Amino acid sequence: MAEAPQVDETPQIDPADQFEVHPFYVFRWEESQEAHVLLYPEGVVKLNDTAAEILKLCDGDRSVTQIIDELKNVYDVSDPDTASRIEAGVYKFLEDSHAKGWTRRK
């Protein structure tokens, strides 16, 4: 059985960093849950829509800046507060998901 990924205690995120879903996890739509999930040998993590949208973009090729820019194109960012919330939300999610081992830097 595969070992769980190491948890990173200091997930400082740089705008140029590129993230991917850790290969220990399978990210997919689960019809029975009606949500995107992360599957792993010990269980499943049901993701909210925002987390799923961010993880879809964590392909190892996009930088954090590119992920934020793509999400700003999807959502209405005519309001500067919305643009700031998107940016802060992406950084927070990447810090948390990286610390939990769901994602890794490429």
Q: Is the pLDDT of residue 10 over 50?
A: no
8 inside domain: no
Which amino acid is located at 79 in the chain? D
Domain that holds residue 97: 18-105
Strand intervals (E) in the chain: 18-21, 26-30, 35-40, 43-46, 59-63, 103-105
Task: Work out the percent of the chain whose per-residue pLDDT is above 90.
Answer: 82
Which amino acid is located at 34 in the chain? E
Q: Is the pLDDT of residue 83 over 80?
A: yes
The CATH number of residue 33's host domain is: 1.10.10.1150
Quick one: pLDDT at residue 12? Answer: 86
10 inside domain: no
pTM of the model: 0.85
**Average pLDDT, stretch 26-46?**
96
Token match 């959502």: residue? Answer: 75
Tell me which residue of 89, 101, 79, 80 sits closest to 53, measured CA to CA.
89
Q: How many CB atoms lie within 10 A of CB 4?
A: 12
Q: How many domains does the chain have?
A: 1
